[in-house]
Amino acid sequence: MKKNGYSIKSLKTNRRGGFCSNKFNDFYKDHGIKRLLLVPRSPQQNGMVKRKNRSIHNMARNMLKTKKIPKEFWAEIVDYVVYLSTRCPTKGLNDVTSQKAWNERKLNATYLKVFGIIGYMHVH
């Protein structure tokens, strides 16, 4: 159980390794988590995840291109996109951010800056 009182009730995974070990099977049983096993390499069963991943990649590609950032920063940009997407309202949560739905706290976005602004490093 998490600090907010919510717990995981079910977990969807494909049958490809990591989440199908005996250790995980014991964990699922101990915590009362229902396992939903999907067929590997079947986009029909995990379409929502595929669409979300495509959206994340499209946003990252757009940020790379518009700010003329080298491809070496791909991982950092994807991390930034995911960070922002969890802090944006969604229709599935009645226009509430997923962070507020989970933590029941209003988001403080005063620390967010414009992506790709020029920064300078000061060396002592």
Q: What is the pLDDT of residues 77-113, one digit of tens each?
A: 999 899 888 888 778 788 888 777 777 777 777 777 7
Share above pLDDT 90 across residues of the chain, in percent, rounded to a whole number: 15
| 104 conformational bin, left if phi > 0, alpha if psi -120 to 50, beta if neither | left
Domain span at 89: 46-117
Query: Confidence band (pLDDT; 50, 70, 90) for 118?
Result: low
Long-range contacts of the stretch 31-38 (C-beta < 8 A, 24+): 31/7, 33/8, 33/9, 34/9, 34/10, 35/10, 35/11, 36/10, 36/11, 36/12, 37/13, 38/12, 38/13, 38/14
Same domain, 103 and 66: yes
Same domain, 22 and 70: no
Residue 93 lies in a domain: yes
Same domain, 107 and 87: yes
> Would you list the DSSP string of 6-17?
----EEEEESSS
Residue 22 lies in a domain: yes
Same domain, 58 and 88: yes
Give the chain's domain count: 2
Same domain, 51 and 32: no
Residue 124 lies in a domain: no
Residue 105 lies in a domain: yes
Same domain, 68 and 28: no
Residue 123 lies in a domain: no
Predicted local confidence at residue 2, as pLDDT: 59
Tens of pLDDT, residues 2-23: 566 777 888 877 776 666 778 8
Same domain, 25 and 37: yes
Residue 2 lies in a domain: no
Residue 88 lies in a domain: yes
Predicted local confidence at residue 122, as pLDDT: 77
pTM over 0.75: no
Phi, psi (deg, nearest 5) at residue 104: 60, 30
Contact 10, 33 (CB under 8 A): yes
